[in-house]
Amino acid sequence: MIQLNQDLKRGDQSADGRLGEQLVFRGEPGYVAGVDIGGTHLRMLLADLNGDPVARWKISLPSNGKDPKSVCALIREGLQALCRDAGAKISSVLHLTAGAPGITDAYQGVVRSAPNLTGWLDVNLGELLHQALRIDVKIENDTNLAALGEHWRGAARHTDNFVFIAMGTGIGAGIFLRGQLYHGAAWTAGEIGYLRVSGLPNEPLQLAETGQLERAIGGEGIEADWRARLRSAGHSEGELRTLRASQIFDGATEGDIEAHAVLDRVATILADALTTLTLLINPDLVVIGGGVGSHPALCESVDRLLRQTDFPHPKIYRSALDTEAQLYGAISLSLSEVARRSLQD
- Residue 83 DSSP SS3: helix
314 contributes a contact to its own copies by CB under 8 A? yes
With binding defined as CB under 8 A, does residue 204 bind its own copies? yes
206 lies in the site for its own copies, by CB under 8 A: yes
Strand order in the sheet with 103-105: 103-105, 110-113, 121-123
Residue 158 as a binder of its own copies (CB under 8 A): the answer is no
Strands 53-60 and 22-25, by their bridges, are: unpaired
- Least spacing, CB of residue 286 vs its own copies, in Å: 11
Contact between 179 and its own copies by CB under 8 A: the answer reads no
218 binding its own copies? (CB under 8 A): no
> Taking the complex as a whole, how short is the minimal distance between the CB of residue 141 and its own copies, in angstroms?
12
Of residues 39 and 211, the one with the C-beta less far from its own copies:
211
Q: Give yes or no for residue 309 binding its own copies (CB under 8 A).
A: yes
Three-state DSSP class for residue 261: helix
Assess 335 for contact with its own copies (CB under 8 A): no
The dihedrals phi and psi of 312, each to the nearest 5 degrees, come to -60, 130
Tell me whether residue 4 or residue 107 sits nearer to its own copies (CB atom). 107
281 lies in the site for its own copies, by CB under 8 A: yes
Helix, strand counts (H, E) of the chain: 10, 16
Alpha helices in 218-324 (DSSP H): 219-232, 245-253, 257-280, 290-293, 296-306
Q: Does 214 interact with its own copies (rule: CB under 8 A)?
A: no
Residue 182 sits in the site that holds its own copies (CB under 8 A): yes
Residue (of 126, 192, 169) closest to 333 by Cα position = 126
Q: What is the DSSP string of 54-86?
A: EEEEEEEPPTT--SHHHHHHHHHHHHHHHHHHH
* Residues of the shown chain interacting with its own copies in the complex, contacts defined by CB under 8 A: 161, 173, 175, 177-178, 182-192, 194-196, 198, 202, 204-208, 272, 275-284, 308-312, 314
